[in-house]
């Protein structure tokens, strides 16, 4: 996944690290675009129209991604692999087509346990797979009767139960460096948190910051002033995807969509060298409580 992971587990058995590594290796083998033999890479190489039976986990993530595409009006799109590669944020950097004639996700068809491409689009789960991995690790730990832990993968977290001192798992939401904003401290008890930001992965080109967050509508990196979006949700996978969608939509449309769906979200906008913070009613109520 190109990132690190950590886990704090109360009364963890000796084989916990190996268990987590096994889960992550399985997800990488299915969903990493950087692995030529992964299931997603093999799917992307198939001729359009040819069906492929997908592993259960990959199908779960694909269906969730397609649902998110519908809910977000295409702001989250699991089939923008060509766009990601074109802008240098994926394997085969500089290759691919920067835009598509229609929303890429609509060129993916699912039938039971199989899927196919109807046009030359490619799947890219970089906006949802890390969150799924957090959920998968949490589920595996609970299946081992481990109910008190904090899991983190690449900045996406899930907390369950309490710490040994009976305090909740307190975490500070990731904030853009160089911007002064209040610390958002959250107690993760059965909750996940994911943050998308223009400072996570970017490069400077001609004095302009090119974010890894691609707007599927334009086929180019987002060009507005959203610096970070933090989402709290029971599912780390959905928190991950919603953070991407709201980042792409921008302040007005993104926060309006999040409010309609009752999501707990903080958005940070850049205003020159200053920052302005916005919260949805659901997050404000959570913090007041």
- End-to-end C-alpha distance for the chain, whole angstroms: 36
The encoded tokens of residue 192 equal 């996940």
Give Cα separations from 167 to 170, 190, 194 (angstroms). Answer: 8, 14, 21
Angle between helices 129-143 and 56-71 (to 10 degrees): 130
Q: Output the pLDDT for position 205.
A: 55
Segments of the chain with pLDDT less than 50: 99
Q: Output the pLDDT for position 177.
A: 75
Q: Is the dihedral of CA 120, 85, 173, 155 positive or negative?
A: positive
- 141 and 5 Cβ atoms separated by less than 8 Å: no
Q: Output the pLDDT for position 87.
A: 66
Q: Output the pLDDT for position 145.
A: 96
Q: What is the pLDDT of residues 126-170, one digit of tens each?
A: 999 999 999 999 999 999 999 999 999 998 999 999 999 999 999
| The model's pTM | 0.91
Q: What is the pLDDT of residues 206-219, one digit of tens each?
A: 555 555 678 888 87
Q: How far apart are CA 274 and CA 169, in angstroms?
A: 30
């Amino acid at each position: 996944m190109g990132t690190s992971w950590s886990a704090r587990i109360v009364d963890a058995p000796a084989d916990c690290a190996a268990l987590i590594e096994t889960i992550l290796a399985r997800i990488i083998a299915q969903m990493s675009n950087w692995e030529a033999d992964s299931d997603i890479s093999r799917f992307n190489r198939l001729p359009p129209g040819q069906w492929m039976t997908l592993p259960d986990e990959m199908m779960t993530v694909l269906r969730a991604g397609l649902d998110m595409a519908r809910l977000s009006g295409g702001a989250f799109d699991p089939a923008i692999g060509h766009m990601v590669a074109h802008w240098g944020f994926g394997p085969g950097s500089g290759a691919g087509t920067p835009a598509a004639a229609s929303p890429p996700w609509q060129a993916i068809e699912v039938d039971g346990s199989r899927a196919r491409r109807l046009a030359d689009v490619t799947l890219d789960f970089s906006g949802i797979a890390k969150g799924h991995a957090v959920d998968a690790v949490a589920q595996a730990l609970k299946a081992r009767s481990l109910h008190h832990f904090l899991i983190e993968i690449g900045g996406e977290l899930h907390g369950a139960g309490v710490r040994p001192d009976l305090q909740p798992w307190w975490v500070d939401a990731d904030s853009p460096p160089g911007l002064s904003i209040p610390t958002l401290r959250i107690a993760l008890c059965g909750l996940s948190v994911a943050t998308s930001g223009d400072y996570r992965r970017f490069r400077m080109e001609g004095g302009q910051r090119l974010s890894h967050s691609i707007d599927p509508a334009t086929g180019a990196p987002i060009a507005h002033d959203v610096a970070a979006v933090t989402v709290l949700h029971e599912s780390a996978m959905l928190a991950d995807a919603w953070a991407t969608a709201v980042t792409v939509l921008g302040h007005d449309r993104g926060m309006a969509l999040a409010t309609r769906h009752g999501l707990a979200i903080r958005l940070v906008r850049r205003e020159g060298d200053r920052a302005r913070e916005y919260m949805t009613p659901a997050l404000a109520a959570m913090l007041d409580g």
